[in-house]
């Protein structure tokens, strides 16, 4: 069974794929769990649901899980969104740095889309200005270094941590939109190191994962 086929099975029963752990050079295992009503739904999985429904393969639990899907939790990933544009005033700030702007417009559409999504996700004017300046500065060397912050569309902090030459370095934290921490982990050269702690949206610890040089060694459920 391929990974895509396993996802199809999970969708039919209202489950979602999660942690993938290597077994050897040719195989791996994936942890599946029941999908929560607050789960994000990718465009790919929404299309899969439509195809599985037409094929008569959906089960009651899968139909119920899909019925709880929220519009604001669907197709929200930056690579799935339509073409994005920078506000005119922010675009003018960006163009003030000719070297940065020239570099930006020469990049692949997917790269430009990701950067614009990151910039526009900071809904407060102050945050947008800071983000623009950070991006302009970092594009002089095409490397991202320093404190990075990403926001929900509502303006609530989604994640933050340090970058060093495009690599995550040190402690990174992620948050739910209600402000509670969802996970915390340390990085070394963009690879997870030591312990990652995860919490539920209500603030209860749900899992600990232990990493060495980016490889999952052990996990503990609560």
Quick one: 84 and 131 in the same domain?
Answer: yes
Question: Considering the chain, what percentage of its residues have pLDDT values greater than 70?
Answer: 71
How many whole angstroms from its chain centre is CA 161?
14
- What the block records as the tokens of 94 is 């960006």
Quick one: 37 and 51 in the same domain?
Answer: yes
Quick one: 68 and 1 in the same domain?
Answer: yes
Quick one: 124 and 162 in the same domain?
Answer: no
The phi, psi pair for 202, rounded to 5°, reads -85, -5
CA 115/CA 178 separation, integer angstroms: 25
Residue 151 pLDDT? 76
3-state class of 131 per DSSP?
Answer: helix
pLDDT (average), residues 50-74: 90
Quick one: 148 and 215 in the same domain?
Answer: yes
Q: Tell me: the pLDDT tens digits for 186-213?
A: 999 888 988 999 888 778 888 888 988 8
Q: Point out which residues pair with 185 in neighbouring strands.
A: 172
- What the block records as the tokens of 111 is 């790269």
Q: How confident is the model at residue 64 (pLDDT cuts 50, 70, 90)?
A: very high
Q: Tell me: the pLDDT tens digits for 82-116?
A: 445 556 666 777 777 777 777 767 665 655 666 66
Name the nearest CA neighbour of 211 among 198, 202, 201.
Answer: 198
The boundaries of the domain holding residue 112 are 78-138
HSE on the CB side for 88, CA within 13 Å?
A: 0
- What the block records as the tokens of 31 is 């942890």
- Looking up residue 215, the CATH number of its domain turns out to be 2.20.110.10
Quick one: 52 and 107 in the same domain?
Answer: no
Quick one: 82 and 10 in the same domain?
Answer: no
Last residue of a domain, one of 34, 55, 76: 76
Name the nearest CA neighbour of 200 among 37, 7, 73, 74.
Answer: 37
The model's pTM: 0.40
State how many domains the chain has.
3
Last residue of a domain, one of 138, 158, 187: 138
Quick one: 150 and 221 in the same domain?
Answer: yes
Quick one: 100 and 174 in the same domain?
Answer: no
Residues 6+ apart with CB under 8 A from 75: 41, 42, 43, 46, 81
Quick one: 2 and 39 in the same domain?
Answer: yes
Q: Tell me: the pLDDT tens digits for 40-61?
A: 887 788 889 999 999 999 999 9
Residue 176 has pLDDT above 90, yes or no: no
Quick one: 86 and 64 in the same domain?
Answer: no
Q: How confident is the model at residue 172 (pLDDT cuts 50, 70, 90)?
A: very high
Angle at CA of residue 179, ends 149 and 77, nearest 5°: 55
Q: Tell me: the pLDDT tens digits for 17-27?
A: 876 676 777 77
Q: Which helix (H) or strand (E) holds 158?
A: strand 157-164
Last residue of a domain, one of 87, 111, 138: 138
Quick one: 130 and 204 in the same domain?
Answer: no
Q: How confident is the model at residue 63 (pLDDT cuts 50, 70, 90)?
A: very high
pLDDT (average), residues 147-171: 81
């Amino acid at each position: 069974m391929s990974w895509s086929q396993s996802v199809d099975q999970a969708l039919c029963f209202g489950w979602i794929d999660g942690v993938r752990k290597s077994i050897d050079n040719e195989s791996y295992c994936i942890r599946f769990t029941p999908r929560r009503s607050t789960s994000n739904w990718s465009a790919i999985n929404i299309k899969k649901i439509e195809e599985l429904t037409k094929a008569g393969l959906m089960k009651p639990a899968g139909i119920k899980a899909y019925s709880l899907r929220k519009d604001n939790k669907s197709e929200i990933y930056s690579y799935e969104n339509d073409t994005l544009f920078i506000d005119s005033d922010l675009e003018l700030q960006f163009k003030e740095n000719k070297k940065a702007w020239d570099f930006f417009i020469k990049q692949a559409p997917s790269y430009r889309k990701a950067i614009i999504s990151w910039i526009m996700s900071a809904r407060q004017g102050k945050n947008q200005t800071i983000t623009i300046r950070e991006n302009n500065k970092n594009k002089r060397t095409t490397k991202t270094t320093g404190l990075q912050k990403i926001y929900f569309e509502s303006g609530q902090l989604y994640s933050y941590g340090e970058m060093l030459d495009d690599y995550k370095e040190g402690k990174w934290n992620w948050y739910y939109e209600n402000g509670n921490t969802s996970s915390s982990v340390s990085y070394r050269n963009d690879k997870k190191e030591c312990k990652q702690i995860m919490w539920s949206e209500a603030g209860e610890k749900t899992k600990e994962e232990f990493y060495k040089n980016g490889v999952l060694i052990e996990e503990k459920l609560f």
